[in-house]
Amino acid sequence: QSVLTQPPSVSGAPGQRVTISCTGSNSNFGAGYDVHWYLQLPGTAPKLLIYDNNNRPSGVPDRFSGSKSGTSASLAITGLQAEDEADYYCQSYDSSLRWVFGGGTKLTVL
């Protein structure tokens, strides 16, 4: 049971918009800690996708965006492409458990 809760899977057709939720609590998001998102392609190391709630590292397309409100966060992907098919993880800091991840969400492009 992860401290941050994500849906196990989401799907969408090419060109569509999908969102992935990440639900926390008062000891992480509610305490003001930022959320970060990572993308993991099969057989590879995770890669930073969104940091500090809504910032994209250099090279990440603006099709990816993040938001956080209260004890929840979400990642949105617009203009879905086949290469977006991957596992997505949210991550933050928890005042009790320290560094925590969501359980991961598998995105399938139909």
Partner 1 sequence: EVQLVESGGGLVQPGGSLRLSCSASGFIFSSYALHWVRQAPGKGLEYVSAISTDGGSTYYADSVKERFTISRDNSKNTLYLQMNSLRPEDTAVYYCVKEEDSNPRWDDAYDIWGQGTRVTVSS
DSSP 56: P
User: Does residue 64 touch partner 1 according to CB under 8 A?
Assistant: no
Please say whether the dihedral angle defined by the alpha carbons of residues 16, 108, 36 and 58, taken in this order, is positive or negative: negative
Query: Among residues 13 and 102, whose Cβ is nearest to partner 1?
Result: 102
Query: Among residues 77 and 100, whose Cβ is nearest to partner 1?
Result: 100
d(CA 6, CA 22): 5
Those residues whose C-beta lies under 8 Å from the C-beta of residue 104, and which sit 6 or more positions away, are 6, 8, 40, 87, 88, 89
User: Does residue 89 touch partner 1 according to CB under 8 A?
Assistant: yes
User: Does residue 88 touch partner 1 according to CB under 8 A?
Assistant: no
User: Does residue 34 touch partner 1 according to CB under 8 A?
Assistant: yes
Query: Among residues 5 and 78, whose Cβ is nearest to partner 1?
Result: 5
